[in-house]
Structure 1
Amino acid sequence: MERYENPVVTVLKYASLIVASIVVLFPIYSVFVGAFKTREEFYSSGLSLPDNFFNFDNFVRVIEIGRLDIGFMNILTILAVALCGNILFGSMVAFAIGRFDFKLKNGIIGLFLLGQLIPTITTQVALFSVVKSLMLYNKLAVAMVLYMGADVLQIIIYLQFVRSIPKDLDESAMMEGASLFRIYRSIIFPLLAPATATLVILKTISIYNDFTVPFLFMQDERLQVVSTAIAAFVGPNAAQLNLISAAVLLIFIPTIVIFLVLQKYIFSGVTSGAVK
């Protein structure tokens, strides 16, 4: 039997969906159309479409003036090292905590969770002192170290997945003479592919969009990343919004590509094919 639905409720439902879609898509639309406008056209035409969608002058100026080539190279280097560290350390720690019982185990997990509750901004003064004492200030390595150690999101994500993997797999491998490291390398880590994909997406977006760490600890222009490169188009009295729109559009593209490539792994089963 078909359920009767009040027409008023149906109208309100679709109206709310339309409003929500507009709210979500409006910033993307404004950035997209603004990236192809000249400065005069940007301030005079409002949200209307640009006169020429083949006007790439803003993108050329962004790359030349903002040195986005250096920004992309630096952020890709930081991402490669930081993500490898997050994946390696996070999966190893989660394997140890999720598979073995030892003293202070619950206390360690509690400290990991407590670290997530402390606002990052409250630790900047102490963090700056630590960075200076380690002689990492104004070096690319400072971002790599901070992104690997200042966030325990990877441990929390991996721990939930490790706990869902049957321990029978470990026992079967031990009966065949496999060591603990072999179990981690050949059984546990391959089954953590969905967690790794989730971690890569979340950490990439977080590191890619972060402005605080590069701004505070990497003042040298040669160390700028894509987030700090946009600051070159913000003056003391006004901002060049058409150039900022072009820069945001260029910076936005890699995030979309990464998500489209890795999204299928997020929804795959954690133990898919394990028995085979």
Structure 2
Amino acid sequence: MEVKQSKVVTTLKYLLLIAAAFIVFFPIYSVIIGAFKTQVEYYQSGMALPKNFGNFANFTKVLKIGKLIPSFGNTLVILLISLAGNILFGTMVAYALGRFKFKLRGPIMGLYLGAQLIPTITTQVSTFSIIKFFGLYNTMGAPILLYLGADVLQIVIYLQFINSIPKDLDESAMMEGASLFKIYRSIIFPLLAPATATLVILKTISIYNDFYTPYLYMPSQKLRVVSTAIYSFVGPNAAQVNVISAGILLIFIPTVLIFLFLQKFIFSGVTSGAVKM
């Protein structure tokens, strides 16, 4: 009886795994095959494989009409500046909280944690007013400013690594006349490289996939990023599902490549930091 029950349980597990894999991969499959079909073939063949995987007409059309190439350029500019600010502020905040003991250390960390509990939508009116006040509305400065701040996730990850760095290094450097800033620049920052790589990947994916912020603060067509560009393209071309699939695939490829080639940094950075903590 136990053997039969074990077989039944195992069979159910595999069936559930197959069902879960189907649910996850079927939309991706439909996008990939649709991107290489003509409009007539798409509606006639259903979910069958395309006759010609060498048909790149849909990709050419979406790049030309959807203006994805300038959108990729805008996204890259926002990404580079935002990531530089995240790394700079994140490492500095974590350095101050992890290396120095002062009365406001606990409250500051509590404020970072508390800010995560406030729904973003409830602060949009005040945030929008601030962006307008500084004259950043409808400029790249708006999303860059909103992405620059260090959030609690990166601070926690950086703190895990900072707490694993021996304080003897700081004391030795101070005895040789090094300032606090030089200790940060020459000792702390280089040793935070694994955590920085992890944060770069996570932040890149987060900013790249964000639609709400660019859509709200950069309505100009010249300032479109990939998420808003594909959204604007879908409206007048809703009937051309094959072309829309090509656009989705073009936007989807960079995130997949980033994850496949750099996933080891995500896992090794987070787990090693957790172990050292």
Q: Give TM-score, length-normalised by structure 2.
A: 0.89
Counterparts of 1:84 and 1:74 in 2: how far apart (Å)? 16
Contact 1:165–1:270 at 8 Å: present in 2 too? no
Greater alpha carbon shift after TM alignment, 176-185 vs 207-216 = 176-185
1:85–1:239 Cα change, 3 Å: farther
Q: Give distance in 1, aligned partners of 2:5 and 2:265.
A: 38
Please give the alpha-carbon distance, in whole angstroms, between the structure 2 residues aligned to 1:194 and 1:22.
Answer: 35
Could you say if the C-alpha distance between residues 73 and 232 of structure 1 is closer, same or farther in structure 2, counting changes exceeding 3 Å? same
Shift of 1:11: 1.9
CA deviations on 1:160-190 (whole Å, 9 max, x unpaired) are 3222333233233334443222221222112
Comparing 32-41 with 73-82, greater Cα deviation is found at: 32-41
| 2:163 counterpart SS class | helix
Deviates more, 1:244-253 or 1:9-18: 9-18
Distance 1:260 1:195, change over 3 A: same
Single out whichever of 213-222 and 119-128 deviates more from structure 2. Answer: 119-128
Equivalence for 2:85: 85
Which residue number in structure 1 is paired with residue 262 of structure 2?
262
Cα shift at 1:152: 4.3
Structure 2 residue aligned with 1:123: 123
What is aligned with 1:196? 196
- Kindly indicate whether the alpha-carbon contact (under 8 Å) linking 2:157 and 2:273 is maintained by their aligned counterparts in 1: no
Alpha-carbon shift at residue 151 of structure 1 (Å): 4.3
8 Å Cα contact 2:89/2:149 also seen in 1:
no
The answer to whether the 8 A contact 1:161-1:192 is kept is: yes
- SS of corresponding position for 2:53: coil
Q: Deviations over 1:80-102 (max 9, x none)?
A: 00000000010001000111011
d(CA) in 1 for partners of 2:200, 2:150? 16
After the TM superposition, which residues 189-228 of structure 1 pair with which residues of structure 2 at under 5 Å, given as runs? 189-228=189-228
3-state SS of paired residue (1:51): coil
**C-alpha distance in structure 2 between counterparts of 1:140 and 1:82, whole Å:** 11
Contact (CA 8 Å) 1:173, 1:183: kept in 2 or not?
yes
Match of 2:95?
A: 95
Amino acid at match of 2:186: S
Amino acid paired to 1:19:
A
Q: In 2, are the aligned partners of 1:233 and 1:240 still within 8 Å (CA)?
A: no
The offset of 1:38, in angstroms, is 1.9
Q: What's 1:232 paired with? A: 232
Q: Distance in 2 between matches of 1:124 and 1:194?
A: 34
Cα deviation for residue 23 of structure 1 reads 2.0
Match of 2:149 in 1: 149
Distance 2:229 2:141 in 1: 19
Give the AA of the match of 2:60: V
State the Cα distance separating 1:18 from its structure 2 match.
2.0
147-156 or 37-46, larger mean C-alpha shift: 147-156
**Residue 179 in structure 1 maps to residue 179 in structure 2:** yes
Alignment of 1:15-30 (within 5 A): 15-30=15-30
Identity of aligned residues (%): 66
Question: Is 1:161–1:195's contact at 8 Å kept on the other side of the alignment?
Answer: yes
Measured in 1, the distance between the counterparts of 2:31 and 2:181 equals 49
C-alpha deviation, 1:226, in angstroms: 0.4
SS of aligned partner of 2:97: helix
Q: 1:216 to 1:184 in 2, by over 3 A?
A: same
For residues 89 and 70 of structure 1, do their structure 2 counterparts lie closer, same or farther at Cα, with a shift above 3 Å needed?
same
Q: Which amino acid aligns with 2:7?
A: P
2:235 is paired with a residue whose SS is coil
Q: Is the 2:72–2:226 Cα contact (8 Å) retained in structure 1?
A: yes
Q: Report matched runs for 1:56-75 at 5 Å.
A: 56-75=56-75
C-alpha distance in 2, partners of 1:44/1:120? 44
Residues 191 and 265 of structure 1, relative CA distance in 2, 3 Å threshold: farther
Of 215-224 and 23-32, deviating more is 23-32
How far residue 236 of structure 1 moved from its aligned partner, in angstroms, is 6.7
Contact 1:197 1:263 in 2 (8 A): no
Q: 221-230 or 248-257: which moved more?
A: 248-257
Mark the CA change 1:238 to 1:63 in structure 2 (over 3 Å): closer, same or farther: closer
1:42 pairs with 2:42: yes
Cα displacement (A) at 1:224: 0.4
Q: Give distance in 2, aligned partners of 1:112 and 1:199.
A: 17
